[in-house]
A and B are shown apart, each in its own frame.
Chain A
Amino acid sequence: MMVSSNLSNKSMVKKVQKKKGGSLLTLQFIPYAEIESLSSSERIEKLLSIVKADKIVLLEGRLRSHEEAELIRSTMEQIDQKFKGIELSVIDPEEKKIKSITKIIRSSVLNLLLGNRKGFTIIGPANVVKEIKQDPDKIQLFTETGGKKR
């Protein structure tokens, strides 16, 4: 497996390539500062354009709750024979401390206007990322090639 990275326009792009089979998995890191000044619709448009290019977005922080709903809505509007949708997951290291999802949701609501730089948001194209599983100690991205999960 080959891993390469370069810096492009503030965001970091990591490419993971299997030597055999030639499948390419690209992870693009987006610092929160890169979306901070954007409107909600611009943020969603930016993130979806990256995902639609078959890249996995690793966003610093999280979207506001209404932006998450808008992201799902926009995704649905853009689904076609090539683009099947997204896999979405938010990881917050603070979650372990506060334990309950309700508190996480409440924390999200408090950040409704301010935005939130804590944690990470992973958004992957559904044709590449089949499932994102959150375990207390790890995050698993299941991708699929040749009908097999890995």
Chain B
Amino acid sequence: MIKGLKSFFSKFRKLFKKKKKIKLGLYGPPNGGKTTLANRICKDWLGEEDAMGKASNIAHETREIQIKEQVVIKSKGRELIFNLVDTPGIATKIDYEDFIKAGMKQKEAKSRAKEATKGVIDAIKWLDEMDAVVVVLDSTKDPYSQVNITIIGNLQARDIPVLLVGNKIDLKKSDIKKVEAAFPQYAVVGISAKTGSNIESLYDGLFKLVK
């Protein structure tokens, strides 16, 4: 865990030295809490509510890449500037009937499914554009999914620094240890983007990179 953190911070520090502004991507499977985290960051540092769009319990609420430019995080005289990129959740299947089951009308469900497929395609295309990525996982779910492995494998192949976030620690079923056990070489930060619980750890982690 400590080794993983050091490795991530070391890569990240070099990145910040080379560039003043980076693209920080939020990646992960659907419903992990990427948009909730993006909104939390924008609320905490820009004072904007729902700046990156609304979050939902229905999967694929975010179907287009959302970018918030010039996010500035300040602390103790230091500052980080980055473009925050919220991406649609990556999935291997999308069935419009699932949206109907969630209460949508057929036309709306089909339209959402079509947009969701385009969103996944865009998210994969944007992998090459990222300077660093926070992978947001739902800590109440099994982390051993092929989608998670594929995302992280592709980031590693591109030598993009990765920080893992185990989200939803406010829920009873949350199991951060399971996420850490699945990815022991990566830094894992347990947070609740919804309540803001332990969010300072995420910000602290980012600041350590630019010492």
Contacts and interface: CB of A to CB of B under 8 A. Distances in A.
A6 B146 CA distance: 30
Interface residues of B, number: 33
B132 interface: no
A70 B153 CA distance: 13
Interface of A: 65-66, 68-70, 72-73, 75-77, 79, 81, 84-90, 100-106, 108-109, 112, 126-127, 132, 134
Main secondary structure on chain B at its contact with chain A? helix
A65 B147 CA distance: 11
A73 B157 contact: no
A105 B160 CA distance: 14
Interface string B104-148: 000000100100011011001101000000000000000110110
A149 B120 CA distance: 27
B184 A100 contact: yes
Interface string B172-187: 0000000001111110
Contact of A84 (B94, B121, B183): B94
A98 B157 CA distance: 19
B184 A68 contact: no
A137 to B, nearest CB: 14
A66 B158 CA distance: 9
B185 A76 contact: no
Given A69-B127, A73-B124, A77-B117, A126 B95 contact: yes
A66 B113 CA distance: 24
Interface stretch (B37-45, B72-80, B85-93, B197-205): B85-93
A73 B156 CA distance: 18
A52 to B, nearest CB: 13
Contacts of A90: 146, 149
7 contacts: A65-B150, A73-B124, A76-B94, A85-B92, A86-B93, A100-B182, A105-B149
Contacts of B91: 72, 85
